[in-house]
Structure 1
Amino acid sequence: MEKRFAIAMDVGGSHITTAVIDLSEMKVFEDSFIKVSFDSNLPSKTVMDYWENAIRTLWEKSAIEKLSGIALAVPGPFDYADGTCWIKDQDKYDHFYGLNIKELLRERFDFDRDFPIVFENDANSFGKGEVYKNIENLPKNVMAITLGTGLGACFIENGKIVSTGKNVPQDGEIWNLPYKNGMAEDAVSLRGLLANYHNLSGIELNNGLELYHLAIEGDEEAIRAFHKFGEELAEVVLPWLKSFNAHMLVIGGKVANAGDLFLNILREKAKNEGIEIELVLSTDNETTALLGAASLLYKA
Structure 2
Amino acid sequence: MNSHIILALDVGGTTVKSALCDLHGQLVSGVNITSVDSRGSRSVILKRFSEILTGLVAQSNKMNLEPVGLAVAFPGPFDYEKGICLIKGVNKYEALYGMDLSGFFRNEVTVTELFPVIFDADSWAFTRGQYLKGAAIGARRIIGITIGTGLGSAFMEEGRIVQNERGIPPYGWIGNLPFGKGILDDRISRRGILARYREISDSLQVDLDVKDLYNLAVKGDTVCMKLFCETGSLLAEALIPFIKIFYPDVIVLGGKISGAYEFIGPALRKELEANLGSINLPKILKAIDPDSSTLSGLALHLAEICFGGGSI
TM-score normalised by L of structure 1: 0.82
The answer (yes or no) to whether the contact 1:252–1:282 under 8 Å persists in 2 is yes
CA spacing shift, 1:51–1:226, aligned 2, 3 Å: closer
Is 1:292 aligned with 2:294? no
Deviation at 1:285, TM superposition (A): 4.1
Is 1:281 aligned with 2:286? yes
SS in 2 for 1:28: coil
1:168-209 C-alpha deviation (Å, 9 max, x unpaired): 134311112123554323433334444554444433653223
1:18-49 C-alpha deviation (Å, 9 max, x unpaired): 2111332x2212x4333444656363774464
Structure 1: give runs of 5+ residues left out of the alignment.
Answer: none
Of 229, 240, 245, 1:238 maps to 240
Is 1:63 aligned with 2:64? yes
SS in 2 for 1:118: strand
SS in 1 for 2:154: strand
1:50-97 C-alpha deviation (Å, 9 max, x unpaired): 1441231221133224x4421111223332111233445745473x44
CA spacing shift, 1:185–1:52, aligned 2, 3 Å: closer
**Dislocated runs of 4+, deviation >6 Å:** none
The answer (yes or no) to whether the contact 2:31–2:291 under 8 Å persists in 1 is no
The answer (yes or no) to whether the contact 1:9–1:73 under 8 Å persists in 2 is yes
SS in 1 for 2:58: helix
Equivalent residue, structure 2, for 1:209: 211
How do residues 1-300 of structure 1 correspond to structure 2 at under 5 angstroms? 5-12=5-12, 15-24=15-24, 26-29=25-28, 31-37=29-35, 41=41, 43=43, 46-47=47-48, 49-65=50-66, 67-87=67-87, 90=91, 92=93, 94=95, 96-110=96-110, 112-133=112-133, 137=137, 140-180=140-180, 182-203=182-203, 206-272=208-274, 273=276, 274-282=279-287, 284-299=289-304
Structure 2: give runs of 5+ residues left out of the alignment.
Answer: none
CA spacing shift, 1:111–1:140, aligned 2, 3 Å: farther
CA spacing shift, 1:62–1:35, aligned 2, 3 Å: farther
Q: Which moved more, 1:144-153 or 1:55-64?
A: 55-64
The answer (yes or no) to whether the contact 1:194–1:204 under 8 Å persists in 2 is no
